[in-house]
Amino acid sequence: MRLIDLNADVGESFGNWRMGNDEVVLAIVSSANVACGFHAGDPQVMAKTCEIARRNGVSLGAHPGFADLQGFGRRPMPMSAFELETLVAYQIGAFMGIAARAGMPVAHVKAHGALYNLAEADPEVAGAIARAVKAVDPKLIMIGGTGSPMEGAATAAGVRFAAEGFPDRAYADDGKLLSRKLPGAVLHDPAEAAAQAVRMVIEGLILTVGGKLLPARVETLCIHGDEPTAAAVASAVKLALAGAGAEVAALPRVLG
């Protein structure tokens, strides 16, 4: 049976402001990308998210992003490679401390928003992230877009890499995620997202907005926890994968 990780971006509330439905989403997925307090989240939110994940047997990952609470980390910020590397290392270390308080290990790191998008296109950004991961803990798994510079950067740094696909996002004809500025960039229909997940995992293909079928290797699928439809999409994806003969499992188990 094919094993596939199902991850979600969670822990993105801040103070009294609430984002997403982590209690429900973390009862469905196998891995959690927890915001580290820069684009979203705070120490208390991180701690509570770790506790929810522990109750549900969900594997933990750090989700570092740009220091941009107002823009939710989705606005690129020009930074040197040194600044990027230390930005990411700082957030990973902070989250590992919170996770240790909950008695849980951290298994992976996945960049957020604009930082992720830049790393998909710029080998220098991807390299800075990979070096930060390696420096903090070489056993950590780095998640990145399938076929992106992040895979090469992880290999060069000597860290394990997990290729990621997005059931709830549309893809442009170049294989990159369709910009959120364009209509249809986010797939809110659970059935549509489930079909995309099965296509990626079972057939190894991505269907683009232009009708192209591009080859893609994925070990993990991401559900965006900030979307109102996140729980419904995650449930539909998990059910469809099971029906197609795939088992949802935590990322360390998927990579063996």
- The pLDDT tens digits for 95-130 are 999 999 999 999 999 999 999 999 999 999 999 999
Task: Identify the CATH assignment for 2-255 out of 1.10.150.120, 3.20.20.370, 3.20.20.450, 3.90.700.10.
Answer: 3.20.20.370
Residue 225 in this model has a pLDDT that exceeds 80: no
Cα atoms in the 13 Å half-sphere on the side-chain side of 173: 3
Q: Which tokens go with 85? A: 């590397």
Tens of pLDDT, residues 69-101: 999 999 999 999 999 999 999 999 999 999 999
**Least confident among 28-37, 65-74, 92-101, 181-190:** 181-190
Residue 159 in this model has a pLDDT that exceeds 90: yes
User: What backbone phi and psi angles, to 5 degrees, belong to 129?
Assistant: -65, -45
Residue 203 in this model has a pLDDT that exceeds 90: yes
Output the pLDDT for position 142. 98
Average pLDDT score, the chain: 95
Q: Which position has the higher pLDDT, 226 or 146? A: 146
What number is the average pLDDT over the span 38-49? 98
- Integer Cα distance of 190 and 170 in angstroms: 13
Are 111 and 64 contacting, i.e. CB atoms less than 8 angstroms apart?
Answer: yes
Residue 41 in this model has a pLDDT that exceeds 90: yes
Are 198 and 240 contacting, i.e. CB atoms less than 8 angstroms apart?
Answer: yes
Output the pLDDT for position 77. 96
Quickly state the pLDDT bin for 240 (edges 50, 70, 90): very high
252 in helix, strand or coil?
Answer: helix
User: What backbone phi and psi angles, to 5 degrees, belong to 174?
Assistant: -90, 5
Residue 180 in this model has a pLDDT that exceeds 90: no
- Integer Cα distance of 112 and 215 in angstroms: 24
Work out whether strand 205-207 and strand 213-215 pair parallel, antiparallel, or are unpaired.
antiparallel
- Integer Cα distance of 108 and 117 in angstroms: 18
